Amino acid sequence: MLITLPDILSADQLATARQLLSCAPWEDGAHSAGPQARTAKNNEQLPHGCEAATAISQMVLGGLNRSALFFSAALPLRIFTPRVNRYSGTANTYGNHIDNAIRLKPMDGGGTECVRTDVSCTVFLNDPDDYDGGELTISDTYGTRGVKLPAGHAVLYPGTSLHQVTPVTRGQRLASFLWVQSMVRSDEQRRLLFDMDMALLALRQREGETAEATRLTGTYHNLLRMWAET
């Protein structure tokens, strides 16, 4: 399931993010990749905990927390701390890969927490007109789809998907990325719950709180109760 989330970051937040990134301490993105991904990864990334990374991470998490669509599609249990990357110049691409199943999330005060990468998320920090190439391409059973969204928008897709970022041939592509461990591990089950939630929302908007909407809402929550891990 591929879902677009509009306006996760506001225009003011995007301006602040780009100002922070203009003097940020970029490093080789391969430092955070596993052995297989390192052979395909050629980009730059902000060190975890630097001022720009921390500020942008907080803005992204705030935007996701305000998004009812994000909650409905991802059903988040744990969220890996958002990171920030850049594609430009000779560090301009990330070849086909599948993300590691488990990521270790640094915790405040020390230690780490395991996050299963059920759902991947990319939040675009600059507009498509700022760069050529840099398309996020995601392959699944329905074929390969390209994603290149306006600044502030995000895309959610299954962590099991083969995906890549095509070479940036002009300008720079700035984005934040993160993973979500969902309360519902199965992408198929999450899709059914999301479709039902969206249909219920449309039904209520058209018909109000009918007896049928109430019964279907109960069915939704009973399915969630059956499938969720907390």
Find all residues with CB under 8 Å of 81, minimum gap 6, and list them. Answer: 48, 57, 105, 106, 178
Angle at 185 between CA 179 and CA 188, to 5 degrees: 105
Distances (CA, A) of 123 to 53, 64, 78: 13, 10, 17
Q: What are 133-177's pLDDT values in tens digits?
A: 999 999 987 789 999 999 999 999 999 999 999 999 999 999 999
Predicted TM-score of the model (pTM) = 0.95
pLDDT digits (tens, 9 = 90+) for 26-48: 999 987 776 767 789 999 999 98
Domains and CATH numbers, the chain: 3-182 (2.60.120.620), 187-227 (4.10.860)
Identify the pLDDT of residue 214. 96
Q: Are 178 and 84 in contact (CB under 8 A)?
A: no
Choose among 96, 140, 99: nearest CA to 117. 99
Whether the Cβ atoms of residue 99 and residue 158 lie closer than 8 Å to each other: no
